[in-house]
Structure 1
């Protein structure tokens, strides 16, 4: 059974002045740092060493440390907000209102963005209110304790925990930081309007037997027969309980009445929401597959549905990527692998299909996929950790990563070398050898640790986020979807932006707390690139053509995407076309080009 949900009064007990102030200072410091990084704000240095930002309302004074890749670390405790010459409490919502023109927020986007900021503050205050594991304890915790223990969300996005659509009780039930296991809803969907896709070595009967078991399957079949329906005419589809209650039971009412969609009941197993919120881990039987479902809430730039069109090709794409990865000697040597989405199912609601052009949110309300569990990949003595944990800082300001390094017995530099070999080297190989790119941010990778040291990584979210840049030959069938036309000058951004700016920019300052100087951090990154290229001299022409040691590279801005359109930041069918570029960033490994004077 789920834990009892608190009353409405108790559910807002965390919204107290002192916590709200801490949440506001935290988020405002992050906003100033990331908006300055994206050149939306231009802080001016004062004679006393502090910086100032002017808005149409208050002035903001603060202290900040600046590091490679134009990274701003704003001290939340240093923030001073001056309105008409008087100091007032920092207020994140007031800041967005006062700075909305500088941030490029239109009147159509501004209200939803304010909602997302309010929701992000709400969650931040809740996390400050709850007992939490210290960084030291979390560094040694199990996989699901780590998932629910993460507090920040995406490191670059400011409005990163919007979850617009969740009620007070929904937040307590389904937010990953609340750690409440819950049951999924099972639906029978008529094969005339639903399509189940599978990898070649998996049958529908095997999938359902492994996920549901014989007793549950017999019960589902009996329920259908009691309605005068044939079980042979239906597939079984898991849905998020919020999606069933808030969307499907009403918006698909005609389908339910026509018995093309039949409610079967709740799952026996209990699931825990992961950091990606619509992906669930089976806590009752961890060896079973993850389940990812459509969830029509607005969160971080997208309505989080799942496209039935994408689901049709997802297993084939995963099978192709997995075969390529697992056949490659270099990738095997790094221990790099993917978690395959082995089955996917999508329901095409006939009224929306007939009425709506394009593949918008209304067509993405009922779909799901099954992804391999990482538990089967563990060897004796190993454990799992989301890579997002490497950026985690607890409520007392202590970072998890230094604690993990201390537990390993290695120096910070030694630990970093192991990490880069497991994480960066395989990404370099995929890029240079196969023109294959992933979305390698923290939540999308699972680290396998042995002795608190990364020895292998598992990449996930393959179907929606993998791409092949300008393939030499057309890819057949569903694989055509992952062909990603990309100008040569932007191709290295899959490393320079997605890895360097998107993750290592935040990791470097945390490693400094463990005693590793910034120059040594980037020297190690450069050495990883150099070692890979020297080990594979056969692609020397590509290393010149796609130069990771270039002096600078174009600045790709994530918050600008969300500020421009917080309902669909990019078109997933052509993500390059919608990117926001502003200015350039100095490349922190340029000084370490092989052969250059150090």
Structure 2
């Protein structure tokens, strides 16, 4: 144990390529994070880094397209597979297959075959992800306009990935020392989506200023919106004045009041709210130009506090005053399948959904006392509707979600002394030396690998299963929304859950334990079939996370994939054995079914949804099934 920690320390002290950094301190003078420019200009990215980023993304594209059956690899000898495309081009690569229909292509094994001048097929090493997408467009059934937009997203993703490779970044041992917000800035994006950092609408300069991987501190623009346009809502213990007092100093409040008065307005006739500076410049001052001119929207100035973007880009964590709220703000960009605004029904419904859920779940002795699960409430919001666009039937949603905000309890305000909180997604991170963060944490804990994994699976699954079985409620527990609290030895101990209003769903079957439910919030608390409720858990935990974690664990911790899935099944069985009286619910939300529907995220973008403007967000439809490794 001591030798391993000495080796980690020695490794972390090795010189690495870094840029000049700056630090921000909290009110106690303690360094809270460092920020610099880890995403260099594209001109500073070497051809080698660009090709390596492409090799990785090409392997991911082959893997995910094969999983979704967009392409159908034909087996050759050994572990080699061939894909023949309608364009006349073929790709051959080495790959392994795993549970839940997963594919894992070897990035260094791919070759591209095309007809030469004499009609013979010439095979060359393949590294170009965009070339593959052009080659396979006819096979997968996408069209030119869609491919044009998609290649824009892929190119933007590659630019960030290549810059990350060029810079190097911290090794897995160093990441253990980071706080949850700083760690978010080191993540590499959605594991399933090929174009996971598209951010259509951001320029290259915007990415360096506002993307999480840039690690740049952001100061928010505050505005006052007349109450004829804006509505504040909060949980019962949070008034509008209380939120402002929590988020702004007395001096700032006085200065903002003075600015409104200088325009001839009454400060109390306006709702005050933060706006992302990019959104203020690119959307609000354009779409709400008339309201700004008529002093129905008044700019107040920047916040004194500095914020750090989380992986969603639109959610900001306060780095100056860590006890203050996180704030979720709309951005008129396309990223990971949708426009990243905030629907008015979400801003309106966030406080009431939070009050109902926390009032229900905080009284549950298993969640409260035993599992000590933390539900990070969305405790206040501002809704602003556009005076003209909001009146037009079937108006595409991108135009209706440009102004509003949701305040959420911060992780820092709820974590214990000495507790380390990290997003679930961080376990899939692999540093440039090839070490996975999950393996680093397991080794650092001093526990046998299987014991650490068992703690992890029970920590993640038991609260989610308890809420689903007991109340017929599920969240969307993907890597961003799910955070894990670790003790001082990096052993998983409890779960933090967030993003209620966007992702919570309720079974349409009557569940007495839920008690009276909020009325008139079907958009916020959609009623769904229990099988669909279960699918949220399956998609986000099993397909969206464990499917990728299993091979990392096999490779770096020596736990074979079959054994990995037996341990996951063991965590489910342990909960079932603890509460046998819920057997009917276990059958209703059947986690041990023989198979699960497969939802094709990349197919949806390329073939089904494409980039057509829609009045509502598009619901994914299943495409086939996958065998359940827990069955």
TM-score computed with the length of structure 1 as normaliser: 0.93
- Match of residue 191 from structure 1: 227
Alignment of 1:33-112 (within 5 A): 33-55=63-85, 56-84=87-115, 85-87=122-124, 89-112=126-149
Alignment partner of 1:124 is 2:158? no
Q: Offset of 1:131 from its aligned partner?
A: 3.5
Cα deviation per residue 1:316-344 (whole Å; 9 max; x = unaligned)?
A: 10111111221112222112221111111
Instruction: Note if contact 1:302-1:567 (Cα within 8 Å) is conserved in structure 2.
Output: no
- Match of residue 413 from structure 1: 450
Alignment of 1:235-314 (within 5 A): 235-314=271-350
Q: Secondary structure at the match of 2:183?
A: helix
Q: Offset of 1:356 from its aligned partner?
A: 4.7
Q: Offset of 1:462 from its aligned partner?
A: 0.9
Q: Offset of 1:491 from its aligned partner?
A: 4.1
Q: 2:353 aligns with which of 311, 317, 332?
A: 317
Q: Offset of 1:235 from its aligned partner?
A: 0.9
Q: Offset of 1:110 from its aligned partner?
A: 2.0
Q: Secondary structure at the match of 1:475?
A: coil
- Match of residue 392 from structure 2: 355
- Match of residue 593 from structure 1: none
Q: Offset of 1:368 from its aligned partner?
A: 0.8
Alignment partner of 1:472 is 2:502? no
Q: Secondary structure at the match of 1:381?
A: coil
- Match of residue 581 from structure 1: 622
- Match of residue 595 from structure 2: 552
Alignment partner of 1:514 is 2:537? no
Q: 1:533 aligns with which of 557, 573, 576?
A: 576
Separation in 1, partners of 2:547, 2:35? 41
- Match of residue 5 from structure 2: none
Instruction: Note if contact 2:506-2:533 (Cα within 8 Å) is conserved in structure 1.
Output: no
Call closer, same or farther: CA 1:72–1:139 in 2, change over 3 Å. Answer: farther
Separation in 1, partners of 2:52, 2:575? 44
Q: Secondary structure at the match of 2:598?
A: strand
Alignment partner of 1:454 is 2:492? yes
- Ranges in structure 2 where 5+ consecutive residues have no aligned partner: 1-21, 24-33, 116-121
Call closer, same or farther: CA 1:104–1:546 in 2, change over 3 Å. Answer: same
Cα deviation per residue 1:412-431 (whole Å; 9 max; x = unaligned)?
A: 11111111221101111111
Alignment partner of 1:339 is 2:380? no
- Match of residue 462 from structure 2: 425
Cα deviation per residue 1:532-586 (whole Å; 9 max; x = unaligned)?
A: 112112221222333222222222222222222255899878x7xx322222211
Alignment partner of 1:166 is 2:202? yes
Q: Secondary structure at the match of 2:238?
A: coil
- Ranges in structure 1 where 5+ consecutive residues have no aligned partner: 591-598
Q: Offset of 1:16 from its aligned partner?
A: 2.9
* Mean CA deviation greater in 580-589 or 356-365: 356-365
- Match of residue 237 from structure 2: 201
Instruction: Note if contact 2:508-2:530 (Cα within 8 Å) is conserved in structure 1.
Output: no
Q: Offset of 1:346 from its aligned partner?
A: 1.7
Call closer, same or farther: CA 1:159–1:290 in 2, change over 3 Å. Answer: same
Separation in 1, partners of 2:549, 2:35? 38
Q: 2:439 aligns with which of 396, 402, 406?
A: 402
Separation in 1, partners of 2:362, 2:36? 45
Separation in 2, partners of 1:559, 1:418? 32
TM-score computed with the length of structure 2 as normaliser: 0.88
Instruction: Note if contact 1:184-1:267 (Cα within 8 Å) is conserved in structure 2.
Output: yes
* Mean CA deviation greater in 578-587 or 183-192: 578-587
Separation in 1, partners of 2:621, 2:614? 10
Separation in 2, partners of 1:568, 1:310? 23
Instruction: Note if contact 2:100-2:626 (Cα within 8 Å) is conserved in structure 1.
Output: yes
Separation in 2, partners of 1:74, 1:62? 7
Separation in 2, partners of 1:4, 1:445? 25
Call closer, same or farther: CA 1:462–1:338 in 2, change over 3 Å. Answer: same
Separation in 2, partners of 1:321, 1:569? 33
Cα deviation per residue 1:150-206 (whole Å; 9 max; x = unaligned)?
A: 1x2011111110011111211111110110001000011001110111011101111
Cα deviation per residue 1:6-56 (whole Å; 9 max; x = unaligned)?
A: 8x9x72224432111101111010011011111111111112431111221
Instruction: Note if contact 1:316-1:479 (Cα within 8 Å) is conserved in structure 2.
Output: no
Call closer, same or farther: CA 1:207–1:112 in 2, change over 3 Å. Answer: same
Aligned length in residues:
584
* Mean CA deviation greater in 356-365 or 488-497: 488-497
- Match of residue 215 from structure 1: 251
Separation in 1, partners of 2:612, 2:432? 32
* Mean CA deviation greater in 272-281 or 123-132: 123-132
Call closer, same or farther: CA 1:177–1:566 in 2, change over 3 Å. Answer: farther
Q: Offset of 1:303 from its aligned partner?
A: 0.8
Q: Offset of 1:144 from its aligned partner?
A: 2.9
* Mean CA deviation greater in 352-361 or 366-375: 352-361
Alignment partner of 1:144 is 2:188? no
Call closer, same or farther: CA 1:581–1:357 in 2, change over 3 Å. Answer: closer
- Match of residue 4 from structure 2: none
Call closer, same or farther: CA 1:58–1:88 in 2, change over 3 Å. Answer: farther
* Mean CA deviation greater in 376-385 or 188-197: 376-385
Call closer, same or farther: CA 1:166–1:359 in 2, change over 3 Å. Answer: closer
* Mean CA deviation greater in 51-60 or 399-408: 51-60
* Mean CA deviation greater in 246-255 or 228-237: 246-255
Give the RMSD, CA atoms, in angstroms: 2.2
Call closer, same or farther: CA 1:68–1:318 in 2, change over 3 Å. Answer: same
Separation in 2, partners of 1:411, 1:568? 50
